A and B are shown apart, each in its own frame.
Chain A
Amino acid sequence: MRLIQLLKKELARETRGWVDESLITHEQGQAILAKYGESLDNDANKTSFGYYLLMALGSLFIGLALILIISHNWDEIPSLIKTATLILLTATTNLIGLRLYLTNRHQAANVWVFFGAISYGASIMLIAQIYHLGEHYPDGIYWWALGVLPLVLLTRSRLLSLLMLALATIWLCVEVGEAFFPASYPVFLLSALFVALYCRSTPTIFVFSLFALLVWLNLALAWLMGSGIHYEPFGDLLPFSLALGLVLNGLAWALMRTMNPTWREYGLVLHLWLLRGSVVTLLILSFEGVWHEYSSESDMTLVLSIAALIMGGVLSWKLSAKNGRYASIPAVLFSLCFSICFIAQAYFSSGDMIAAVTINFLLLVLGISLIRRGIEQDETQYFYTGVAVLLATAFVRYFDLIGDYLGGALLFLIAASIMMLAARYWRLRGQTEPGGRTDEA
């Protein structure tokens, strides 16, 4: 899967130019763009998309105006009239949306239903205000999100999906803040994922939903550790999260293999975000002090977390094996190195140092493989990410030595040896392979 998938709009514009200049035929242009889920004729959607976007933003502004009315406390109007007006407003806007759907004006209908959803939420809050409801207020946000959910599944609108996800996530935050567990949060995520996978191309919603699911699973584990009464965060959440990250990476590679261009794009975007996330995570874990602070709760939880890491690695490897060595080897390597780190940290007196050295080794291997992958696949992003990883590792290790000065120097020498050996290996392999390149860098 190439990064050009993320530049498909630009590719479509270029292809239209080639067709206009008769460099390629119309059919050839269509065939090229079809590979990326684009078309030569898509340009006509631009105007209607601009209209749609401005109308949606307008609806949002009207919604904000409604919320300002909430803050003003319009107490001069009788309660019953206020309530009836709100219910009527919600019903009217939604029914206008329904009518527009029936007459095939889908974008206008989406805007009206979106406005209806805002009006519905504002009504929940206003009725609570009119009658001084002091009950658990996150329930109001929950019912708002829940009321939008069926509309998301029916209209398959990205706008409504975003609204639902935003509301559900605000609900998750306030519910956790009030020391309750948002058990039904995945229902919203799964609905958004359904729309993203089967109805609309929306990488943002897809990637956000998966990462939000990761957060929810962490909360669920902490809630379980607190016997379902309160949150009890524990150290072994880290290996569980890393294991889930490995599985997501395998999923990203599996998606990049599919025939569906949208799914391929999802896989690529997910892979890129996981790559960024893994670089940041590894840099944080490369400090010996971080491992010194880390503590595992009990032997049983540790065994389970190591088992999760190994299973995550195996699953990731199974999912990515067909994509080649750049996909499958990191899955095994990450799983192995993380397991070594957590075992060493738990059972050896110098475990903190062993873990930090292992993570630095992993950073080194990641940087080298990214550089090599960038050169082999002619993808500059991977090449420069690899260079940045190696430079960042060198920078943090120079200022934060592992061991004493001599230990730090030894680490740099080992790193230099690995890089030179890797360079030498690829040079030799390039010379032995027919048509191999020896001077890519």
Chain B
Amino acid sequence: MKLNSGLVQDTNWYQSHTFKIGLIIAITLQISVLVVEYLSSVWPIWTGTPIILKTQPYDPRSLFRGNFVRLSYDISQVESDNASEYKLGSVVYVSVKEELSHWRFQSISKVKPVTGLFIRGRVRANYGNSLSIEYGIEAFFMPKEKALLAQETLREGALMRIFVSGSGKARVQEFVCQGDAC
């Protein structure tokens, strides 16, 4: 390649097979990213088990993603005697069991459980015997007015329908509650 190639060389480059094939691959890469994002979003909903989790919505805002309510679940903060052994950012599996109206925390493990329903998450903080975990289901997007209304009316807590795939990947589906925000 010539340094600072002029227009003549540029024209040759744009006509070359490398450029044409490269551009087609680059466009395909973009489309693939979008398709993979879509499939990974809907896969737990198509194949997963629906469960109900208790949550509390708060603080709707995001510069890049629009308006949403941030959801803090009962299982977002869990107690563990060996909390300090869990590194920040490490993957954990939280087993849940059904009790009355919704599912509750049962146990936490670094390795994938063989039986039972579990959700895959990442440790975001640990203090004392308490672990803060994120599961990728902490945001629920809705128009600004609805988001504010949800924050107001569901201050005491709400229930969310979640789909959990066999690998523990969770996807939030909808509010299970009464009120205008649902």
Contacts and interface: CB of A to CB of B under 8 A. Distances in A.
B182 to A, nearest CB: 13
B5 A91 contact: no
B82 interface: no
Contact of A101 (B14, B29, B38, B141): B14
B33 interface: yes
Interface string A87-99: 1001100110010
Contacts of B41: 127-128, 130-131, 133
Contacts of A37: 4
Nearest to A153: B22
B10 A151 contact: no
B171 A98 contact: no
A164 to B, nearest CB: 12
Interface stretch (A69-77, A244-252, A412-420): A69-77
A141 B138 contact: no
B22 A150 contact: yes
Contact of A134 (B37, B134, B142): B134
Contacts of B88: 179, 229-230
A296 interface: no
Contact of B136 (A134, A141, A153): A134
Contacts of A101: 14, 19, 23
A46 interface: no
A150 B66 contact: no
A309 to B, nearest CB: 33
A86 interface: yes
A131 B143 contact: no
Nearest to B1: A198
Contacts of A179: 88
A260 B136 contact: no
Contacts of A155: 23
A106 interface: yes
A73 B142 contact: yes
Place the interface of chain B in its size category: 35 or more
Interface string B74-93: 00000000000001110000
Q: B22, B38, B89, B144: which has the most chain A beta carbons within 10 Å?
A: B38
A293 interface: no
Contacts of B26: 147, 150-151, 154
A141 B38 CA distance: 16
A127 B144 CA distance: 18
B12 to A, nearest CB: 11
B37 A124 contact: yes
Contacts of B52: none
B105 interface: no
A100 B52 CA distance: 52
Given A129-B65, A199-B4, A260-B3, A134 B30 contact: no
A94 B27 contact: yes
Residue picked from A132, A135, A146, most chain B C-beta under 10 Å: A132
Interface in B33-54: 33-35, 37-38, 41-42, 45
B127 interface: no
Nearest to A149: B26
B65 A70 contact: yes
A91 B42 contact: no
B136 to A, nearest CB: 4
Given A73-B142, A94-B30, 13 more contacts: A37-B4, A91-B31, A102-B20, A124-B34, A131-B45, A131-B171, A132-B139, A132-B171, A133-B41, A143-B37, A146-B33, A154-B26, A155-B23
25 contacts: A71-B66, A71-B67, A71-B144, A73-B143, A73-B144, A83-B34, A87-B38, A101-B19, A102-B14, A125-B64, A127-B34, A131-B38, A132-B140, A133-B37, A133-B139, A134-B139, A137-B62, A147-B29, A147-B30, A151-B26, A153-B22, A154-B26, A197-B3, A262-B3, A263-B3
8 closest residue pairs by CB, A with B: A131-B41, A134-B139, A150-B26, A134-B138, A135-B136, A73-B143, A94-B27, A129-B141
